[in-house]
Amino acid sequence: MLFEFFAPRLRAFVSKPGADRSVIEDVVQETFVNIWRKAHLYDPEKASASTWIYTVARNARIDFLRKAVRPAVDLTDPVLAVDPIQNPQQQLSQAEEGVRLQRALASLPDKQREVLKLAFFADLAHAEIAKELKLPLGTVKSRIRLALGRMRMEFGEDES
């Protein structure tokens, strides 16, 4: 079920023009094996299944395609700072978070959504997106800031 739903998405996510088919296959396999390996770490309260699978796939892509390392937060780290002012009742449910996120994304102008899509799906850093779209770097930065600002607004966080 999970496999049938996500395998074509994963292949599309990893595929880039000119990418080696066997490398794509490696990333797809590695992602599913890691989903199985790390199943005990998945918390449905914190993230939707597609978000979690996205993060596992992204890490496999970095590993196999970029052959790079991506340092990440360890949530069990004793140094981890927790928000002292956060009221647990204000914490939105995962479903409510999802609804607000969809609403924010749906309300974005096409040009801003395009930049987000290129960032997540074409594996391009914002400077590379500027080259790809033949836009000044400042234009791409301002589209990113407007899009993320729109999301902050949806979640009731002030602009700063």
Partner 1 sequence: MIRHHPSDELMLDYAAGSLGEASSLALATHLTLCPQCRAANQRLDAVGGNFFAHPVEGTPGQETLNSVMARISSEQAVPRAVAHPLHPALPQPLRLALGCDLDAVPWKRLGIDAYQCVISTRDKIATARLLRIPAGRPVPVHTHCGNELTLVLRGAFSDLTGNYTPGDFQEADDRLVHQPHAEPAEDCVCLAVTEAPLQFKSWAARIVQPFLGI
* Burial (CB count within 10 angstroms: exposed 0-12, middle 13-18, buried 19+), residue 27: buried
Closest approach of partner 1 to the CB of residue 33, in Å: 5
Q: Rounded distance, CA 139 to CA 149, Å?
A: 15
**Which residues, 121 to 160, sit near partner 1 by CB under 8 A?**
121, 123-128, 131-132, 140-141, 144-145, 148-149, 151-152, 155
Q: Contacting partner 1 (CB under 8 A), which of 45, 77, 158, 159? A: 77
Asked if 21 is part of the footprint of partner 1 (rule: CB under 8 A), the reply reads no
Q: State which residue, 33 or 109, has the beta carbon closest to partner 1.
A: 33
Give the x-and-dash track for 81-120 against partner 1 (CB under 8 A): xxx--x----------xx--xx--x----------xx-xx
Q: Contacting partner 1 (CB under 8 A), which of 40, 88, 95, 110? A: 40
Asked if 17 is part of the footprint of partner 1 (rule: CB under 8 A), the reply reads yes
Q: Tell me how many residues contact partner 1 (CB under 8 A).
A: 79
Asked if 16 and 123 touch (Cβ cutoff 8 Å), the reply is yes
Q: Rounded distance, CA 12 to CA 24, Å?
A: 9
What are the Cα distances from residue 123, in Å, to 45, 58, 117, 157? 28, 9, 9, 28
**HSE-up of residue 114 (Cα within 13 Å, Cβ side):** 11
What are the Cα distances from residue 18, in Å, to 15, 23, 24? 8, 11, 11
Closest approach of partner 1 to the CB of residue 76, in Å: 6
Q: Contacting partner 1 (CB under 8 A), which of 8, 103, 109, 139? A: 8
Helix 137-154 and helix 110-121, axial crossing angle in degrees, nearest 10: 100
Closest approach of partner 1 to the CB of residue 77, in Å: 4
Asked if 59 and 70 touch (Cβ cutoff 8 Å), the reply is yes
**Which residues, 52 to 71, sit near partner 1 by CB under 8 A?**
52-55, 57-59, 61-62, 66-71
